[in-house]
Structure 1
Amino acid sequence: MRRADRLFQIVQILRNKRLVTAKALAERLEVSERTIYRDIQDLSLSGVPIEGEAGVGYRLRHTLDIPPIMFSLDEIEALVVGARMAKTWAGTELGYSAQSALDKITAVIPAELRDKIEDSKLFSLRFTPRRDLDVNLDICRKAIDAKRLLRLCYCRADGEQSLRSIRPLGLYFWGNVWTLVGWCELRDDFRNFRLDRIQNIEPDSATFTDVEGQSLQDFVKRMTCI
């Protein structure tokens, strides 16, 4: 858990107005009591009105007014279906992050909206989950962010396989298929690769920089002119 997330969680726990010991906070957040003491001190110095002391417990003063995050019912539904789609289709890491984000929102919204999240009847299903697709998606997403070359073995629809070195530029979701668009070193041009046809994929140690005429923006311009 990132430190910023932990500080947020501490504030939410202390909002119940009951004394909470550093030991209880440490156990819940899976850190040491020493870490909790440092976090409490930093929160206090930043202006969060925490009262209490080591060995007794901590709580927020009643004067603290943290307004709840307000959403309409439609916005809540949109967040729920978005998180559920990410959990189903967006890879392992983004799936966990989507649920974590939804948990944070649930913790600070009014009870009636919290019930809407729990009772939502909107679902996202994938009947043939494939672990390799989730792994491929996670690898591609990280490579795009880091501008890292990818080496992959790709199988075309006719069964022909080829080894490619590409500059990954973007990922597109087409309803039930993800495609990776990149600049292919072999073809010296843009190419789209279906993630479910990638037999093997490895990030290279080499990185790349954007080249005029070979960026994602250039790809989009070309597609809009077709």
Structure 2
Amino acid sequence: MRRADRLFHIVQLVRGRRLSTAAFLAERLEVSERTVYRDVAELQHQGVPIEGEAGVGYRMGAGFELPPLMFSQAEASALVASVRLAQACLDPALAREAESALSKILSVLPRDARAAAESLVLFAPAVGQSPEVQQRLQALREAAQTRHKVRVQYRALDGTDSTRTLRPLGCFYWGSVWTLAAWCETREALRSFRVDRIGAMEVLAQRFRDEPGRTLADLFRQVEQERRQRAP
């Protein structure tokens, strides 16, 4: 890869993430971390507002823009495939936004590239998620984003019903079902709940803040610790 191309890719990678380490950039570009350090220093010297330092990570400063990029035919086809697959499992609001975003992208492509992308013979019929579950998923996702607590009626695998007050942290798709990761105030523990087992639900006016031991990062650490304990 020419150095000019590599510098351009560094800008694209850094501007697309909150924080990019030199190790991440080196792996994506297939170069050494030392090369990344030199390239970032060169970009900074040229006036590109990359903030951060070696050993910590880099991010793009506010106000930096590049001209619109043109997608290749293969990239456009990949975007069409991604949206079609996503729409089959996303909640209604996100599915509509995905379709809108794709339409904007396709509208600026050359005619031949657009026709090839739209004729992609890959489809994902929407099966398995009832409208009620999709609406519930949307409400839970929005509550997690706005940091609002929710009160739900939940039916466990053994048929036991319970009322829970939750701090929704994130929604996870497992190929056939969605689950909600949350801090359960009723059980005072991190828990996962199948969205299709949630009945009546109310988004509460009360909001929550991250607290030690009750965050999504804590859940990831808990899952990783359990995985290591099960490993032979």
> Does TM, normalized by the shorter one, top 0.5?
yes
Deviation of 1:90 after TM superposition, in Å, equals 0.6
Aligned equivalents of 1:141, 1:129: Cα separation in 2: 16
CA contact (8 A) 2:151 2:164 kept: yes
Match of 2:121 in 1: 121
| Secondary structure of the corresponding residue to residue 167 of structure 1 | strand
Deviation of 1:68 after TM superposition, in Å, equals 6.8
- 2:76 is matched by which residue type in structure 1? I
Is it true that 1:206 corresponds to 2:206 in the alignment? yes
Match of 2:170 in 1: 170
CA contact (8 A) 1:69 1:108 kept: no
CA contact (8 A) 1:148 1:168 kept: yes
Gapped runs of 5+ residues in structure 1?
A: 1-66
Is it true that 1:194 corresponds to 2:194 in the alignment? yes
| Secondary structure of the corresponding residue to residue 88 of structure 2 | helix
Deviations 1:5-36 (A, max 9, x none): xxxxxxxxxxxxxxxxxxxxxxxxxxxxxxxx
Deviation of 1:69 after TM superposition, in Å, equals 3.8
Match of 2:217 in 1: 217
Match of 2:140 in 1: 140
CA contact (8 A) 2:76 2:106 kept: no
| Secondary structure of the corresponding residue to residue 181 of structure 2 | strand
- 2:218 is matched by which residue type in structure 1? D
Match of 1:74 in 2: 74
Match of 2:156 in 1: 156
- 1:117 is matched by which residue type in structure 2? A
| Secondary structure of the corresponding residue to residue 205 of structure 1 | strand
Deviation of 1:221 after TM superposition, in Å, equals 0.9
Match of 1:4 in 2: none
RMSD: 1.4
Aligned equivalents of 1:97, 1:224: Cα separation in 2: 33
Rg larger for: 1
- Larger displacement relative to structure 2 (118-127 or 190-199): 118-127
Aligned equivalents of 2:214, 2:68: Cα separation in 1: 46
Gapped runs of 5+ residues in structure 2?
A: 1-66, 227-232
TM-score (norm 1): 0.67
| Secondary structure of the corresponding residue to residue 89 of structure 1 | coil
| Secondary structure of the corresponding residue to residue 217 of structure 2 | helix
Match of 2:107 in 1: 107
Deviation of 1:144 after TM superposition, in Å, equals 0.7
CA contact (8 A) 1:152 1:201 kept: yes
Deviations 1:168-214 (A, max 9, x none): 00111101111000000111000100011111211101000000111
Show structure 1 runs of 4+ deviating over 4 A. none
